[in-house]
Amino acid sequence: MKAEPSDTKPMTTDEFFAWCDGLPDSERYELVEGEPVRLQSERIRHAESKASAWLALRTAIRSRGLDCHAFIDGVSVRIDDHTVREPDALVHCGPYDPDDIIATNPVVVVEVASPSTFKTDAGRKLLDYFVLPSICHYLILAPEQARVVHHRRSSIEGEILTRILGREATVDLSPPGIVVSVDALLGA
């Protein structure tokens, strides 16, 4: 029987994954501070942008022969015991279990922003993602504005640097050691 979210205490990540296991494939959730939050249906533009980002990352990784993999949404990132995010795309480096649903070593995370999600993508998710020491880069794609916001971990403890890039720019994602054009990330 499917577990129900508790009204009295925050759901843990383990409880969340057990609860999600009983949901139909068409229902997707993130866990935010112990509360399941349903992910909205996507517009075609969002799906195309997400696919372009994944393909650009995958192509760059393969061309360098790195021990990394690009995943599209459906692979989760465990932030802490009560928060799980599901980025639109991510780069995981090192070994992984192909049957797992969690990226244990995400290095790059990508969100495709829409007018209704930009505030969360640029605020709460930014804070969440950089809690994880493995995450070096967080890309927010804004297809309507033909821009990518690149947040990257600095060599100075606790410092995150931000750049806003147009279609003509490239994004240096080191580590893991790839360079991707904004145009490829955003798609045609």
Give the range of the structural domain holding residue 151, as residue numbers without chain letter.
Answer: 43-186
Instruction: Tell whether 36 is covered by a domain.
Output: no
Instruction: Tell whether 149 is covered by a domain.
Output: yes
Instruction: Tell whether 79 is covered by a domain.
Output: yes
Instruction: Tell whether 110 is covered by a domain.
Output: yes
Instruction: Tell whether 86 is covered by a domain.
Output: yes
Q: What is the pTM of this model?
A: 0.93
* pLDDT confidence bin for 6, thresholds 50/70/90: low
Instruction: Tell whether 104 is covered by a domain.
Output: yes
User: Of 25, 33, 14, 27, whose CA–CA distance to 131 is shortest?
Assistant: 33
Q: Per-residue pLDDT tens for 133-183?
A: 999 999 999 999 999 999 999 999 989 999 999 999 999 999 999 999 999
Number of structural domains found in the chain? 1
Q: Per-residue pLDDT tens for 59-87?
A: 999 999 999 999 998 899 999 999 999 99
Q: Are 38 and 28 in contact (CB under 8 A)?
A: yes
Instruction: Tell whether 9 is covered by a domain.
Output: no
**For the residues of 113-169, what is the DSSP string, one character each?**
--TTTHHHHHTHHHHHHTTSTT--EEEEEEGGGTEEEEEEE-SSTT-EEEEEEETT-
Domain CATH code at residue 175 = 3.90.1570.10
Instruction: Tell whether 129 is covered by a domain.
Output: yes
Q: Verify cis geometry, omega within 30 degrees of 0, for the bond prior to 133.
A: no
